[in-house]
Chain A
Amino acid sequence: MDTQIETRELSKWFGEVVALNNVSVQIPTGVIGLLGPNGAGKSTFIKLALGLYRPSRGEIRILGEKPRNNFHTLQKVGYCPEMDHFVEEVSGYEFLYWLARYSGYKPKVAKKQVERAVERVSMTERMYDPIATYSKGMRQRVKIAQTLLHDPEILFLDEPMNGLDPTAREELFELVISLGNEGKTVIFSSHVLHEVERVTDTVILIYNGRVLAFGKIREIRDLIKNHPRTIVIETLEPKKVYQILSVDENITTVNFDTQSLTVHTLDPMQTFKYINEMFLDEKVPIYSFRCADEDLQSVFQYLISTHIPRGL
């Protein structure tokens, strides 16, 4: 596969704070998830890729060229920023129109590009209303529309799901998948694992400015398969539930509460199987059960503790 984005020992620090530390990756064509908790360095990575930041050390190349102040590169990239800032009194159409003009289109072509982009994000009906009257989801759509205006080869979507309602989220998932099918490279940044899983199976895991893993999600899942998982079971009889679950040798620790119990298990699938059986047998009333640490933070913590040497 051809390399679209390449970094070598890329680092960025602001004063004494290291935002990105020694990142070397080669990103191929396709949809790539940039996964990490808030403050991990995802946005910094994207801004370095767009040339908004200068690397403090190392280098980054987009389609073989350094991106900073490089309009050749900027012709081929689109960026949906995480932040929500607009000139509020202008309409969505006007906002997009001027950005299309800045992309080098003449007025008539710019108008067509805007209409096309707006249609793609289902904002045609409201495009002449002032942005100040838009909901959070609509503003997000406008941001995504401006990313598509000049039909870029590489799209950077920084937390694009923020503020979207379920319908809009589904539409955006479809859009990202279709962009990937069109042969574009989409860097989809998120701190939510299942959002990324909806659009791609390839992720870059980033934490504390470091790339912890880069590959298929299932490979990353394999990395954490031995990671003890926490399951919370809500029931009125926690002790009785534990008595039944005690046959499961994978459970390492149990914490009781008045109406719930929390178990740590080495094999969540096996434990879930026991809980399901218990639920179906109706021996004990179970109201709900969930995995409490499926969030990325716990995955990162686990990966750091097992894969990053101390002191780094």
Chain B
Amino acid sequence: MAILRIKNIGSLFLDIKTSFLHSLTITLRRDRFLLMAIICVLPVIIPIFVALFSRAMFRESGLEIFIRLSEQVYVHTLTPLLALFIGLIGIREEVDSLTIVYLLTRPVSKFAWIVGRFFAYMLISTFLLGVGLFSTFLACVVLGSIYVDFIGISMLLQYLGVGVMGLMGYGAISLMLGCATNYPIIIGVILFFGWEKIANVIPGIADFWTIQKYLDSMFPALASQRYNRAVMTVIGSFQKELFFVSPQRAFITLIVLTIIFLALAIGFVLWREFTKDRVVGTR
């Protein structure tokens, strides 16, 4: 009889590694992964189109396009999308297909299971985001005013870093939603593309309760001119008063939020009863 390990740091690491590798093998063969890979490189088309079809004297510079795509498309749109579609594969598919029962009856630490899945999601999503951002950067270089030099590469890496922080924050929330609710995608879409957008426009400090607030704080400070957002209504226009957060504080906040939401995800896995074959007459 082979000897099973006693739970210690070594075996915890082995559990994390198993969960990580298993999640990688699952995710990489999903159609959803392929779809997200295509979506992540789609923005490359924009600078190419601008280069081919826009008159030189009116067109935006490569730098402006790169910044706009990086901030509005990659960080604000694709990171939450990746979190919802890639981050949820690891946990939610097991729950929905009821194969989770095989895992829950194994002597694997729930902490290691969640953390392994999260690392796998981070690796895959960072790769997709990195490929997309890098391709877009190269395409923007063609348009000029941004170059493959120290400044250009630094900017690319900074946006990639902010994107990774976004993947962490949104990913931890997605994972928590996947463990806590039966409709994580719907709730995630409402949170990431509803609440986050509204809270960053309406006056007040609601934006502090969003991931986007902290991501915005980490954007390269002088990358481009940014305007304070305003809400136009029939009564009048309201301009949001912005309270700035330093990049360092934003970074720490996102790390803390990630840890909190991962801890909540682990808590829900420990607390919930996932098996569905309940007695007739109950949900």
Contacts and interface: CB of A to CB of B under 8 A. Distances in A.
30 contacts: A14-B279, A15-B282, A17-B279, A17-B282, A19-B278, A19-B279, A44-B279, A50-B105, A52-B101, A52-B273, A52-B274, A52-B275, A71-B7, A71-B109, A72-B7, A77-B105, A81-B101, A83-B277, A85-B98, A86-B99, A89-B29, A99-B103, A101-B22, A102-B18, A102-B22, A104-B15, A112-B2, A113-B2, A151-B1, A151-B2
A95 to B, nearest CB: 8
Interface string B8-45: 00010011001101100110010000000000000000
A174 B105 CA distance: 25
B170 to A, nearest CB: 26
B280 interface: yes
Interface in B97-139: 97-99, 101-110
B55 interface: no
Contacts of B270: 69
Contact of A104 (B4, B110, B283): B4
A87 B26 CA distance: 9
A17 B273 CA distance: 16
Given A75-B4, A101-B18, A87 B97 contact: yes
A102 B106 contact: yes
Interface string B260-283: 000000000010011101111111
Interface residues on B, range: 35 or more
Contacts of B105: 50, 52, 74, 77-79
B114 to A, nearest CB: 13
A85 B106 contact: no
A185 to B, nearest CB: 16
Q: From DSSP, what is the main secondary structure of chain B's interface residues? A: loop
Contact of B107 (A44, A53, A54, A74): A74
Contacts of A82: 277
B22 A39 contact: no
Contacts of A71: 7, 107-109
- 9 smallest beta-carbon distances between A and B, as pairs: A14-B282, A71-B107, A102-B106, A74-B107, A85-B98, A75-B107, A101-B18, A79-B105, A19-B279
A81 B14 CA distance: 26
A81 B106 CA distance: 13
B5 interface: yes
Contacts of A105: 2, 4
Contact of A85 (B1, B99, B107): B99
